[in-house]
Amino acid sequence: MGIKHRALGRIMQWWAAHGGLAQFHHPTGAVGHAAGWIMGRRSSNVARNRWAVQLLDIQPTDRVIELGCGPGVAIAALATRAIRGLVVGVDHSQVMIRQARRRNRAAIRAGRVRLIRTPVESLSISDGPFNAALAVNTVGMWPDPTARLRELGRLLRPGGRIALVSQPRCPGATAATSAAAANELAALLTEAGFEHLRTEMLGLDPPAACVLGHVAPADRPSSSAVQQRGHDPRVRRSPTRSGIRSWLDGRR
């Protein structure tokens, strides 16, 4: 491990001991700016975001939305792939939107990136339909995540792709914690009507989990629509928000 990474690790330990973790949930002010600086430069964060973008298989003309875009690391990676499309980043923090704007200023000027400050539960957007959607370490902070995912599904084209990523940051997180996070994300996607799910793991410490899914084709209803007409006891119910947050402790 290099000097730079060791120094950043010591900063993170000090930060946690002095109550800075809340700033990763909702960055504000100068302290929130520092949180965004860490999120935008920590090697595991950068690797995790770029890996998720690669898994989504973004095409040059795709329209993509990221919920909880933070300082814009994944937005930048998406924009290098969707060179004739559009990338929309959403975050509830003005501090994060400002950092994402600086990181992606050229793509914004070219009209290939648009950033929106709004809570996910208040999302109202006219740039769809989208080909793909991404959320990295943010689902655990959403109110009623199943409802939010259903809303997101309505913004996607039939057959559209979604990727939900979690690298658990709760104390003592291990590979087993990441596997549990993947199972919870898959349960949420299933209940929200996504299908053809698959899970990928990235060998970080702890591992990052990415669950990918698709919107049902236009010629048939989603599995959730079928379930709503008659309860299927085989379908696992989604976890509560507090249950999700037991393994997802912030965006860092």
CATH fold, domain 43-245, is Rossmann fold (3.40.50)
What's the pLDDT score for residue 53? Answer: 98
Between residues 218 and 69, which one has the greater pLDDT? 69
Spatial distance between the Cα atoms of 106 and 127, rounded to a whole number of angstroms: 20
Contact 189, 149 (CB under 8 A): yes
Q: Over the stretch 219-242, which tens digit does the pLDDT of each residue have?
A: 666 555 545 444 443 344 445 444
Contact 142, 75 (CB under 8 A): no
Task: Indicate whether 154 pLDDT > 70.
Answer: yes
What's the pLDDT score for residue 252? Answer: 43
Domain ranges of the chain: 43-245
Question: What's the mean per-residue pLDDT of the chain?
Answer: 82
Spatial distance between the Cα atoms of 187 and 175, rounded to a whole number of angstroms: 19
What's the pLDDT score for residue 246? Answer: 46
Cα separation values, 63 from 44, 52, 105, 236, Å:
26, 16, 18, 31
Spatial distance between the Cα atoms of 118 and 62, rounded to a whole number of angstroms: 23
With a CB cutoff of 8 Å and minimum separation 6, the contacts of 46 are: 40, 73
CA atoms within 13 A on the CB side of 15: 20
pTM score of the predicted model: 0.80
Tokens of 208: 């990052």
Cα separation values, 164 from 9, 167, 179, 189, Å:
26, 10, 13, 9
What's the pLDDT score for residue 103? Answer: 95
